[in-house]
């Protein structure tokens, strides 16, 4: 069992719905974003801009787990990398270690509220009771582990049953996100990665991410050639467009 996600860039329309759904699902503080859209310029003779929906890659050889001095960051049996906020001391080694820059330290200035100094909304008040965010610790995408665990306990299948599937996957108007078990060769995600040449970001880092990307042409055009630059990775620190 290894949970994974595929982001189909031929379907993704860069609408930020995944980001918004995550913010609601986890009552994220105003300055916090677990998934992000990262833009990069492609190379070649006719360069253009592409944008990737990125989040924690839940690497199987996760550098963040290796460097964590307290064991706050650890990997579950199902491959998901999680952070125990009670053990995190905010040393931020993991932020430096993550080659994809997918971790964020929750500082005080990132937790100012929607309308700082004016009003605390009912939604924010409710969020404080329903989902913990500890200033001084590090956060990142957890593949909506709460939904997965609660769903599995009810006998539901993550990636198939909505209740057990990450919020970003459910909301995507382009249905560009696919979630499922990478260890199961018959799962939708495994089939998609195989059929459409799914690729991981920066394989040279040897981290074995659980998030895959798919790119190519739309349609079954009789011109078979794929763009040569279609498999480039985003620059690690691209500007958000």
Query: What residue ranges bind another protein (CB under 8 A)?
Result: 9-17, 19-21, 23-25, 30, 33, 37, 41, 46-51, 114-115, 118-119, 121-123, 125-127, 130, 162, 167, 170-175, 215-221, 223, 227, 240-241
Of the two residues 115 and 194, which places its CB atom closer to another protein in the complex?
115
* 171 φ, ψ (degrees, to nearest 5): -85, -20
Minimum distance, C-beta of residue 46 to another protein, in the bound complex (Å): 7
Q: Where are the beta strands (DSSP E) in the chain?
A: 3-8, 36-41, 49-54, 73-75, 81-83, 104-105, 138-139, 177-181, 211-214
State in angstroms the smallest separation of the CB of 61 from another protein: 32
Of 64 and 106, nearer to another protein (C-beta) is 106
Phi and psi angles of residue 153, each rounded to the nearest 5 degrees, phi first? -65, -25
Report residue 107 CA to chain centroid gap. 21
Query: Could you tell me the smallest distance in angstroms from the CB atom of residue 130 to another protein?
Result: 7
Name the residue nearer to another protein (CB basis): 32 or 68.
32
Instruction: Please enumerate in sequence order all residues whose Cβ is within 8 A of that of 237, keeping only pairs 6 or more positions apart, or say none.
Output: 101
Shortest spacing between CB 71 and another protein, in angstroms? 32
Secondary structure class of 210 (helix, strand, coil)? coil
Between residues 186 and 221, which has the closer beta carbon with respect to another protein?
A: 221
Cβ 46 vs Cβ 179: under 8 Å: no
| CA 120, chain centre distance (Å) | 28
Q: Which is nearer to another protein, 66 or 162 (CB)?
A: 162
State the minimum distance, in angstroms, from the CB of residue 178 to another protein. 13
């Amino acid at each position: 069992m290894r949970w994974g996600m595929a982001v189909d860039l031929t379907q993704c329309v860069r609408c930020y719905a995944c980001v918004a759904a995550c913010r609601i699902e986890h009552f994220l503080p105003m300055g916090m974003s677990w998934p992000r859209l990262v833009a990069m310029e492609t190379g070649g003779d006719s360069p253009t801009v592409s944008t990737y929906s990125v989040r924690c890659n839940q690497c199987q050889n996760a550098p963040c787990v290796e460097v964590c001095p307290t064991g706050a960051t650890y990997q579950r049996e199902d491959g998901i990398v999680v952070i125990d906020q009670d053990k995190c001391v905010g040393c931020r080694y993991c932020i430096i270690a993550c080659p994809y820059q997918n971790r964020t330290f929750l500082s005080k200035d990132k937790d100012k509220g929607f309308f700082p100094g004016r009003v605390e909304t009912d939604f924010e008040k409710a969020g404080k009771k329903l989902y913990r965010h500890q200033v001084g610790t590090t956060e990142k995408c957890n593949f909506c582990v709460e939904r997965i665990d609660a769903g599995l306990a009810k006998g539901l299948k993550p990636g198939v049953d909505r209740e057990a599937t990450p919020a970003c996957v459910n909301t995507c108007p382009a249905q560009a996100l696919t979630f499922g078990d990478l260890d199961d060769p018959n799962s939708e995600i495994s089939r998609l990665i195989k059929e459409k040449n799914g690729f991981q970001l920066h394989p040279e880092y040897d981290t074995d991410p659980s998030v895959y990307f798919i790119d190519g042409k739309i349609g079954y055009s009789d011109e078979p050639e794929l763009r040569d630059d279609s498999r480039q990775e985003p620059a690690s620190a691209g500007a958000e467009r």
